[in-house]
Amino acid sequence: MADNSVSPICWDLVPYMRGRALDVNCGKTPIFPHFRPANELTDSGLFASQSCDCVFSLALEPKDIGEWWRVLRTGGYFCLYLPVAKVKPEDMKAAVWELGGCDLIECRMIEDSFFHVYRKEPKVLRESWKEPKPAKTCGIVRYGAQGDMIQASSIFPWLKEQGYHITLYCQPGAGYDVVKNDPHIDRFILQEKDSVPGYLLPEFWETTRKKYDKWINLSESVEGTLLAIAGRPNHEWPNAVRARMMDRNYLEWTHELAEVPPPYMPKFYSTLDERAWARKKAGQFGKRNILWSLAGSSGHKVWPYLDAVVGKIMLELRNTHVVLVGDDVCKILEVGWEKEPRVHCQSGEWTIRQSMAFAEVADLIIGSETGLLNAAGSMDAPKIVTLSHSSEEMLTKHWKNAIPLRQPSGVGCDRQPCRQLHQTWEYCNKHEPTGTALCQASISASMMWDAIASVMEKA
């Protein structure tokens, strides 16, 4: 991190510093590790026009800003923290105004310096910092993947009903993708992984929470708290102790942390175009469609008897199609089904939003503890989930039409549900014949088939 002269505004930069960021005239130490240091006299010509997402400086004069404005892309942010003893705020504003379209979105005095943030925009000059501020504000932090964000979505409607303007701090990627159309969220602040170094997150949170009337930090609300992480004390607890202390429903716990009452309303919000696409796909496939999510966030959430059950579906449910979805890695689980006309191999082809939109029109949804199954939990369609590290109480308690499958009593892993996160196989009992987790391998193909048949016979 840079020297103390920048500390008053370092956390104010977080909303603007995604992507390729420059710190101009910082010397050798930029304000954040992912910022590239740049020298005003020698480096501006190294950057192509519109090649940077953020330009920051605490040492620029109005006459020198043109080249750095040139390298900033449209929609990017020009952030300045300058002492009024050297530069007058009105002079800097006038200089930026002459360069073309922009919006002055932040304009504040902090100690003896001014903090300006300009967003580069085409053909418009405005000062949105002057617009009226929301009456009630709520900041929510939730870094995580699809399932984490879907669980967090349950608290947004209540907060919005109470009149809060909601800002969500999250990471770009699949987690953001599944909530980006949630109508209850007013502003997203995307933080790339480690853009704020982990050891500085507490300081960032403590400073940022003061900007909001209500502050909800859901970081490690499930992972680390209800699902133990290797290296933490609760990971070493006896399994029976974890069961007593950590067997809490994820949705209920999220609501408690947010001080939000029931009902529990996790929801994926598809767009009109996504729903039309999903209906069209369903019509092209078959009269009845089973959507099968092949793997979760790790290899420990793979169920090993897919081929046997899909084969039985092909033989006994002749008007039924199976749609296989997952990320690129899941393509290996689809091998052998590419030429079967009633099996549609879409892993790595469909986005997570497409898979979730298709879940809304599927006749049955199957999978392990994946983000897709979390999104489907509030949907009317029946769903079958193979439990791994979670219990029914933790995961499926408030799901609609859910059939949770877990290893039979006395069979398989003696720790299931272990309530542990697994990044390696060191702490997970492995079923060597299938190469999958023992808890998953102990859920037999016949158990899955019986669950499928019970649903499809009623359809």
Q: What confidence tens digit (pLDDT) does each residue in 95-126 have?
A: 999 998 999 999 999 989 999 999 999 989 99
Mean pLDDT throughout 270-298?
93
Asked whether the domain spanning 272-456 has the same topology as the one spanning 4-130, the reply is: yes
**How much is the pLDDT for 189?**
97
Q: How far is CA 110 from CA 7, 151, 261, in A?
A: 11, 38, 39
Mean pLDDT throughout 21-47?
85
Q: Is the pLDDT confidence value at 292 over 90? A: yes
Mean pLDDT throughout 186-200?
94
What number does CATH give the domain 137-258?
3.40.50
**How much is the pLDDT for 421?**
93
**How much is the pLDDT for 27?**
80
The domain ranges of the chain are: 4-130, 137-258, 272-456
**How much is the pLDDT for 5?**
54
Six token digits for residue 284: 């092209």
**How much is the pLDDT for 4?**
46
| CB 284, CB 361: distance < 8 Å | no
Mean pLDDT throughout 41-64?
87
Q: List strands edge to edge, sheet with 113-120.
A: 36-38, 21-24, 52-57, 72-83, 113-120, 102-110, 125-126
- Mean of all residue pLDDT scores within the chain: 94
**Tokens 């919005």 sit on residue:** 160
Tell me what percent of the residues of the chain surpass a pLDDT of 90: 89
Q: How far is CA 269 from CA 26, 49, 353, 364, 399, in A?
A: 43, 37, 9, 19, 17
**How much is the pLDDT for 42?**
64
**How much is the pLDDT for 453?**
96
Q: Rounded to 5 degrees, what angle do the CA atoms 312, 318, 319 make?
A: 130
**How much is the pLDDT for 295?**
87
Q: What confidence tens digit (pLDDT) does each residue in 218-253 have?
A: 999 999 999 999 999 999 999 999 999 999 999 999
Q: Is the pLDDT confidence value at 258 over 90? A: yes
Collect all residues with Cβ–Cβ distance below 8 Å to 154 and sequence separation of at least 6. 251, 254, 255, 264, 265, 266, 267
Instruction: Report which of 317, 340, 327 is spatially closest to residue 449, judged by C-alpha positions.
Output: 317
Q: What confidence tens digit (pLDDT) does each residue in 8-18 have?
A: 899 999 999 99
Q: Is the pLDDT confidence value at 1 over 60? A: no
**How much is the pLDDT for 297?**
66
The answer, yes or no, to whether the previous bond of 238 is cis (omega within 30 of 0) is no
Q: Three-class SS of residue 122?
A: coil
| CB 254, CB 151: distance < 8 Å | yes
Q: Please list the alpha-helical segments (H only) found in 78-195.
A: 89-97, 146-152, 156-161, 174-179
For the full predicted model, state whether its pTM sits above 0.75: yes
Q: What confidence tens digit (pLDDT) does each residue in 71-103 have?
A: 999 999 999 999 999 999 999 999 999 998 999
Pick the CATH number of 4-130 from 1.10.238.10, 3.40.50.150, 3.90.1150.10, 3.30.300.130: 3.40.50.150
Question: pLDDT band for position 457 (50/70/90)?
Answer: confident
Collect all residues with Cβ–Cβ distance below 8 Å to 457 and sequence separation of at least 6. none
Mean pLDDT throughout 260-279?
97
What number does CATH give the domain 272-456?
3.40.50.2000
Q: What confidence tens digit (pLDDT) does each residue in 364-407 have?
A: 999 999 999 999 999 999 999 999 999 999 999 999 999 999 99
- Between β-strands 430-431 and 436-437, what pairing exists: parallel, antiparallel or unpaired? antiparallel
Question: pLDDT band for position 41 (50/70/90)?
Answer: low
**How much is the pLDDT for 204?**
95
